[in-house]
Amino acid sequence: AEAAIADTTAIAVDVDRVSKIFRGETEVRALDDVSVGIRKNEFFTLLGPSGCGKTTLLRLIAGFEPPTMGAIRLGTRDISRLPPNQRPINTVFQNYALFPHMSVAQNIAFGLEMLGKPKAEVQRTVDEMLRLVRMEELKNRRTSEISGGQQQRVALARALAPHPEVLLLDEPLSALDLKLRKDMQIELKRLQHETGITFIFVTHDQEEALTMSDRVAVMSAGKILQVGRPRDIYERPAERFVANFIGESNFLDATLSGGTVELAAGGRFDVRVPEGVRDGAVSVLVRPEHASVRSGEAAEGETGATVENVVYSGEATVVHLRLATGEAMKIRLANAPQGGEAPPQTGGAAAIRIAPGAVTVLKD
């Protein structure tokens, strides 16, 4: 049992102090001393805004570019200088890059034939892949005559066919419309689970990252700021950039003293103090759904505010508030059926109650 546990946490791809500098007219440090261990059999996502270095890191892992400094290992084997076709790694590109004049089955077979696999084995693997991505019915269609979502499945099947150890996916869903995208998110999760292949997925869409990943690395300006499970990234962001990039946030002024914060607007909370944060003035995060608000004056344990706006959006109502300090705060209330307690009215006094554990100290 111990061996099994050790095995599931074994490192598939070890990115060790990697920097990538592009030297053109100006010097661009696309990756700045990045280290991360991506585990076997995990759905790992690189998340960050445009230009943060996600694609560059993926290209280095694939072998399309060498690192300027540092090493990339597959397990313990240094592959930094190995050409792409000698790495047990495959990539699904944003534009799929299928051969339009070839059939679905021929597209899937192509890479295997290039590898010189025997005919019978190619046939067997193609059938297996067609089943895996549920495209058996369309195997003889040209890929120019199938939908975008179907092309996406073929691209996945083709990349999975040689049974790579690691599959790299660079924004593979960005060309699909929202509904199809949601379906493919679930489909991708299933494929990763069924094949047991390590997936490294690149996206700038935070919701996509949270719903699909075992772990997420949040990147900014060539650095990885935080690596964690979706829930930890969302509920315990290490710094303001991460909190801001993922989900909706309230940032409030507070004073930290020995594991307790006192909000400038009132209220004391026990908190976890991140490493490197000292007592004194701090900024804290409260997610909009981690507090509640009612009409009326604040009592003990509540924070007073005035209601500036109330926005109904179907499943929730967002109440925009102004605290005594002048700080803005928004609170998201799940909507109960009509006839329940009415949300506060614009212009009225309101009392905010922040859930225990909802106050996160940020190092910014």
Which residues bind to ligand ATP, rule: CB under 6 A?
A: 22, 24, 28, 30, 48, 50-56, 204
Q: Minimal CA–CA distance to 168: which of 10, 65, 59, 87?
A: 59
Pick 133 or 218: Cβ nearer ligand ATP: 218
Q: Residue 148: phi, psi to the nearest 5?
A: -60, -40
Q: Which residues contact 194 (CB under 8 A, 6 or more apart)?
A: 132
CB 346 within 8 A of CB 360: no
Provide the minimum distance between the beta carbon of 221 and ligand ATP in the complex, in angstroms, as a whole number: 9
Pick 53 or 247: Cβ nearer ligand ATP: 53
Residue type, 161: A
Provide the minimum distance between the beta carbon of 208 and ligand ATP in the complex, in angstroms, as a whole number: 13
Pick 53 or 172: Cβ nearer ligand ATP: 53
Provide the minimum distance between the beta carbon of 190 and ligand ATP in the complex, in angstroms, as a whole number: 25
Residue type, 201: F
Pick 174 or 292: Cβ nearer ligand ATP: 174
Provide the minimum distance between the beta carbon of 181 and ligand ATP in the complex, in angstroms, as a whole number: 16
Q: Which residues contact 134 (CB under 8 A, 6 or more apart)?
A: 153
Helix spans in 97-146 (H): 104-114, 119-132
Pick 65 or 127: Cβ nearer ligand ATP: 65
Provide the minimum distance between the beta carbon of 91 and ligand ATP in the complex, in angstroms, as a whole number: 13
CB 335 within 8 A of CB 311: no
Provide the minimum distance between the beta carbon of 320 and ligand ATP in the complex, in angstroms, as a whole number: 31
Pick 54 or 236: Cβ nearer ligand ATP: 54
The CA distance from 252 to 259, in Å, is 17
Provide the minimum distance between the beta carbon of 166 and ligand ATP in the complex, in angstroms, as a whole number: 18
CB atoms within 10 A of CB 251: 17
CB 316 within 8 A of CB 333: yes
Provide the minimum distance between the beta carbon of 220 and ligand ATP in the complex, in angstroms, as a whole number: 9
Q: Which residues contact 128 (CB under 8 A, 6 or more apart)?
A: none
Q: Which residues in the chain belong to E strands, given as ranges?
A: 11-23, 27-39, 43-47, 69-74, 77-78, 89-92, 166-170, 198-203, 215-220, 223-228, 250-257, 260-263, 268-270, 280-286, 291-295, 303-312, 316-323, 328-334, 349-354, 360-362
Pick 59 or 117: Cβ nearer ligand ATP: 59
Pick 80 or 283: Cβ nearer ligand ATP: 80
Helix (H, G, I), strand (E, B) or coil at 185: helix
Q: Which residues contact 24 (CB under 8 A, 6 or more apart)?
A: none
Provide the minimum distance between the beta carbon of 188 and ligand ATP in the complex, in angstroms, as a whole number: 18
Residue nearest to ligand ATP (CB): 55
Pick 94 or 195: Cβ nearer ligand ATP: 94
